[in-house]
Structure 1
Amino acid sequence: MALSCQSVEETIAGILARRPVLGPVLNMFAPLLTARAALPQTLRPLLEETTLRLPEMDRERAAQGFPLLAEQPLTGIAAPLRAAAETILPLLEAQTVTRPHMDGLRRMFAVPQEEDAARERTAALEVLAEGMLNEKTAVLEKAAADAGVPLPVLLFAFGFILGPVLRALVLMRPGGDGKDAPWNADGAWRHGYCPVCGSSPSIAYLDRPVFDEKNAFLAGGGGKKHLHCSLCGTDWVFRRGACPFCEKEGNDVMEILRETKDARGERVDWCTQCRTYCPAVDLRESTGTPDMDVQAIGMLHLDMVAAGKGLHPIHPAFWNTF
């Protein structure tokens, strides 16, 4: 992500110090989150051996709502996916939802000895990755049926494997992991889904004041809103008065839910028009910068409040659907 933030372990420790009741949920996901955070650097050399790269930002396509990887071939992604699966699959076996389906998930990433079958399996992984990024329901349903795995389980497991590969791809692009990312330049990307992979945000954050090291008289007041991608971890700037889901905008569109005491910047931003919500944290009210993937799960208490008010998460997940 664009921020210099705490590790997964540090973020979990900070959340549990305030809300020990979340221990079972956070500890269940901790190994997966830790592995996902570490994998992009491991996978980067494998991606550098391929021809797979992020395309250049096309402002016209961006204005039309096309993420960078929309309709792009992902030739060469199978090997990094298999490398990620070697780390992620053993950790998924500890998850109740995936444990009964591990044989099918392993078959997806195995390399058959017969050459034609191996090529077919490699092509199937590329098609599955492209299908997930382009929301091709028929492709996803076929992959789930071929593996003998329920579609929600396939999406959950494959997301943990595909995400770090896409993150490594972003890291390979100059300026892709910071404020100078092309999707943040001059309002190039104005949509509420990821400019790289098209996935929905899992959490939002408001940034702290930024000071120019070269000129002490120049500073930004902070409070700019960023969305954090649930799949590839990309951060992008978004309008504070607009809904990321329906993209309606105005003074009365977005409302805030927060605890009355000791909120430390944690809140829910919800839309009065479509009644979707996104967890958010105002970093101006907190001391550290959390790992945003962990922080999203660590705001389960606010997910429950939002559900009680009939609101729907912009990114439905196993921990926020009741």
Structure 2
Amino acid sequence: MTSEWLHHIDRLISQRPFSKQILEAYRELVVLMTESEPPPPQVALDEKLRPIRRTQGFPLFQRSELPVDIEGSRRLLERFFEHLSNSSRSDREAMGTALLKARERPDGAERLLRSFLSEDVPGMAVFCGETGLELKVVEFLAMNALKPSLIQCGRAYSKHPDLKLWDRGYCPLCGSQPAISSIDKSGKRALHCSLCGTQWGYPRLKCPFCAEEEHSKLGYFRDERLEYVRVDYCHGCERYVKVIDLRSVEEPAPMELENLSTIYLDVLAVERGFS
């Protein structure tokens, strides 16, 4: 990661004061993340199996197989705990407990990261029980501890030909679901992975979660505070995804930051019964 993220966070704080609190808190973590320099992944793909996996709907990697720098991510996670244990957060004592656990048992912090990658909720719950931290907090910190390495993975495989041929609603690199989507200058839609940040093309009038295409079941809503952001929803599966129209954005931020700074739209979507 680079200091460019800090520039975008500062800009978004001034442009979206309603997201100031969450962006300022995240900025503190990004400062630590920019100091992490994971090595690029060195994994060769099996070219014989690759086309078979794609046609059968398998991503290049399973989440648990992603070539991430676990040791570097573990050290970054420890720094998160240390920083947050010295903050004014209500769970700072639990953060201190997590820091002690991470230092005393590095393998436990490593298991936590691997549990997050494999979506092993019971495995993460063990760490929560030992420290008193909430599961959502642990998931958020684990994801961001892995983020510098995940970004490296996304960059390393972003030019892979399979990504251009992918037509599914989940990530072609790791199989995760999209966190947000965008419309580019030419009017084409892209989905953005919630885990590794990979983006891939997808039809505008099609639900990425259940592939519904019947227009009567698809809809959207906007909020007057950000006219160029809307929430697409599907009555077929009752899911939603936010859409950033980049044709109306002078300086787009990384999609992770666009997603975080529009979190109030997630609240509105949930209040309307979508998930």
In which range does the TM-score fall when normalised by the shorter chain? 0.7 to 0.9
Report the counterpart of residue 279 of structure 1 in structure 2. 242
Deviations 1:203-224 (A, max 9, x none): 211112xxxxxxxxxxxxx122
Secondary structure in 2 aligned to 1:242? coil
Moved more, 57-66 or 242-251: 57-66
Structure 1 Cα separation of the partners of residues 124 and 226 of structure 2: 43
Counterpart CA distance in 2 for 1:76 and 1:184 is 19
Q: Pick closer, same or farther for the CA change 1:183–1:141 going to 2, 3 Å.
A: farther
| Bigger fraction of residues in helix | 2
Return closer, same or farther for 1:300/1:135 CA change in 2, 3 Å cut-off: closer
Is the Cα contact below 8 Å between 1:133 and 1:198 reproduced in 2?
no
Deviating beyond 6 angstroms after TM superposition, the runs of 4 or more aligned structure 1 residues are none
Provide the residue aligned with 2:258 in structure 1: 295
Specify whether residues 108 and 191 from structure 1 end up closer, same or farther in structure 2 by C-alpha distance, changes over 3 A only. Answer: farther
The equivalences for 1:178-257 within 5 A come to 180-186=159-165, 188=166, 190-208=167-185, 222-257=186-221
Q: TM-score, normalised by structure 2?
A: 0.80
2:19 maps to which of 3, 6, 22: 22
Q: Is the 8 A contact 1:184 1:236 kept in 2?
A: yes
Q: 1:169 aligns with which of 153, 157, 160?
A: 153
Q: Give % identity.
A: 26
Distance 1:183 1:33, change over 3 A: farther
Q: How far apart are 1:249 and its partner, in Å? A: 2.8
Residue 213 (structure 1) aligns with:
none
Contact 2:164–2:200 (CA<8 Å) still a contact in 1? no
CA contact (8 A) 1:140 1:151 kept: yes
Q: Paired residues, what number?
A: 272
Aligned to 2:75: 83
Give 3-state SS (helix, strand or coil) of 2:241's partner: strand
Q: CA separation in 1, counterparts of 2:45 and 2:94? A: 35
| C-alpha displacement of 1:154 | 2.3
- The one-letter amino acid of 2:160's match is A
Amino acid of the residue matched to residue 258 of structure 1?
R
Q: Partner residue of 1:212?
A: none
2:54 corresponds to: 62
- RMSD between aligned alpha carbons? 3.4
CA contact (8 A) 1:88 1:160 kept: no
* Alpha-carbon distance in structure 2 between the residues aligned to 1:289 and 1:107: 39
Shift of 1:243: 1.6
Q: How big is the shift at 1:268?
A: 1.1
Distance in 2 of aligned mates of 1:200 and 1:256? 19
For the residue of structure 1 that corresponds to 2:125, the secondary structure is: helix
The 1:262/1:272 distance shift into structure 2, 3 A limit, reads same
CA distance in 2, matches of 1:95, 1:56: 49
Contact 2:57 2:168 in 1 (8 A): yes
Check 1:185–1:75 CA distance in 2 against 1; reply closer, same or farther (3 A cut).
closer
Task: Judge which range, 280-289 or 126-135, deviates more.
Answer: 126-135
204 and 34 in structure 1: CA distance in 2 versus 1, 3 angstrom threshold: farther
Conserved 8 A contact 1:205-1:282: yes
> How many angstroms apart in 2 are the aligned matches of 1:301 and 1:55?
40
**Counterpart amino acid of residue 196 in structure 1:** L
Unpaired runs of at least 5, structure 2: none
Question: In 2, Cα distance between the equivalents of 1:11 and 1:71?
Answer: 28
C-alpha deviation, 1:273, in angstroms: 1.5
CA distance in 2, matches of 1:224, 1:255: 18
- Against the structure 1 CA distance between its residues 295 and 69, is the aligned structure 2 distance closer, same or farther, given a 3 Å change threshold? same
Contact 2:19 2:262 in 1 (8 A): no
1:129-184 Cα distance to aligned partner (Å, 9 max, x none): 4432332334333444455644333222211112222222333x2xx24xx33342
Match of 1:101 in 2: 94
